[in-house]
Amino acid sequence: MLAIDLTNKRALVAGVSDDAGFGFAIAKALAEAGASICLGSWPPALGIFTKLLERGKIDESLTLSDGRKLEFERIYPLDAAWDTMADVPQDVRENKRYKEQGDFTIEGLTTRLREDFGEGGLDIVVHSLANGPEVKSPLVDTSRAGYLAAVSVSAYSNVSLVRSLSPLMHPGGAFLSLTYLAGERVIPGYGGGMSSAKAALEADTRTLAFEAGRRWGVRVNAISAGPWASRAATAIGFIHTMIDYTSANAPLPRPIQATDVGHTAAFLCSPLAGAITGSVVYVDNGYHAMGMAVAATRDG
């Protein structure tokens, strides 16, 4: 039987602070395949997340198919808006949700991973990070600061992770990020520069696949997932309309599930996908292939 086997592989999933998003589903799928899982979690949400874990509030979500409980090898604080502590504004450093976390930047994460697992201690990195402070604003009304913030966290952070973590990975290691169709087609209401950030993320995936592949021997891919009602996605404000519309018009007329994305991620991060890099893989029930909405049924 041909199976996805990630035994003895270590994955870092950056951008998990609850059990509702694609990042958590990917972490769970990687664990199902045998990988050990580390997380990077946004400092303001880290305390709540760890308390949920300690108190057993999400034990049901953590249960794997064989009855085992998903356990995280490490959970690191990570705010991917900053490459080094020198970049962090003083008001953020002194914020009570940050100041007890140590170095929560990408450099800090890299240092902690190297200290904990050494060179070659990492096999998979998943970028499940996005932030659009003005996502409800039309692009034409988005401020420069809002636009740059969206691109910084949602796209540039992937460049930074590839640069910083590739030296810690085994040759053949895999990077994976999450994008959305708004990076290539107009999704009215998906604003604040987030569509631009997703377009940049996809373009960077191709360039990074070449550069990081030649320099470190790693693969870089992205999943373009259909809409999913994660807690973060509710910030858009019309996520259920997006889900209903795509479900009605996709070749497979049903909503996607987070597990669909998790299973695809496990494949792309496994040796079975060893020749796949620089690709954006759609997990949207085929909606991306449609050029016209399904016509309404007429009576008579």
Helix, strand, coil percent content, the chain, rounded in steps of 5: 45, 15, 40
**Cβ contacts of 230-234, under 8 Å, gap ≥ 24:** 230/20, 230/21, 230/22, 230/258, 231/18, 231/20, 231/21, 232/21, 232/130, 233/21
- The pTM for the full model equals 0.94
The pLDDT score that the predictor gives to residue 296 is: 56
pLDDT digits (tens, 9 = 90+) for 48-99: 999 999 999 999 999 999 999 999 999 999 999 999 999 999 999 999 999 9
The pLDDT score that the predictor gives to residue 253 is: 94
pLDDT digits (tens, 9 = 90+) for 255-287: 999 999 999 999 999 999 999 999 999 999 999
Average pLDDT, the chain: 94
Lowest mean pLDDT among 89-103, 186-200, 284-298: 284-298
Average of pLDDT values for 182-200?
96
Closest listed residue to residue 104, CA positions, set 81, 125, 126, 123: 81
Choosing from 98, 147, 156, 180, the catalytic residue is 180
The pLDDT score that the predictor gives to residue 69 is: 94
The pLDDT score that the predictor gives to residue 294 is: 87
pLDDT digits (tens, 9 = 90+) for 212-223: 999 999 999 999
Average of pLDDT values for 96-113?
96
**Alpha-carbon span 300 to 41, nearest angstrom:** 56
Rounded to 5°, angle at Cα 44 from 112 and 258:
85
The pLDDT score that the predictor gives to residue 300 is: 39
SS3 70: coil
SS3 221: strand
Q: pLDDT confidence of 2, banded at 50, 70, 90?
A: confident
Average of pLDDT values for 20-43?
97
**Alpha-carbon span 225 to 218, nearest angstrom:** 23
Lowest mean pLDDT among 199-203, 239-243, 272-276: 239-243
Phi, psi of 37, rounded to the nearest 5 degrees: -120, 130
Which residue type does 257 have?
Q
Rounded to 5°, angle at Cα 222 from 221 and 226:
155
Q: pLDDT confidence of 190, banded at 50, 70, 90?
A: very high
Q: Is 190 a catalytic residue?
A: yes
The pLDDT score that the predictor gives to residue 88 is: 97
The pLDDT score that the predictor gives to residue 229 is: 80
Structural domains in the chain? 10-286 (3.40.50.720)
Residue 209, pLDDT > 60, answer yes
Closest listed residue to residue 28, CA positions, set 11, 48, 44: 11
Average of pLDDT values for 122-137?
96
**Alpha-carbon span 223 to 121, nearest angstrom:** 24
Choosing from 190, 245, 282, 287, the catalytic residue is 190
Q: Is 98 a catalytic residue?
A: no
Which residue type does 139 have?
L
Q: Which positions ≥6 away from 224 have C-beta within 8 Å?
A: 179, 180, 181, 183, 202, 280, 281, 282, 283, 284, 288
Give the CA dihedral 271, 272, 278, 280, nearest 10 degrees: -130
The pLDDT score that the predictor gives to residue 160 is: 98
**Alpha-carbon span 86 to 9, nearest angstrom:** 33
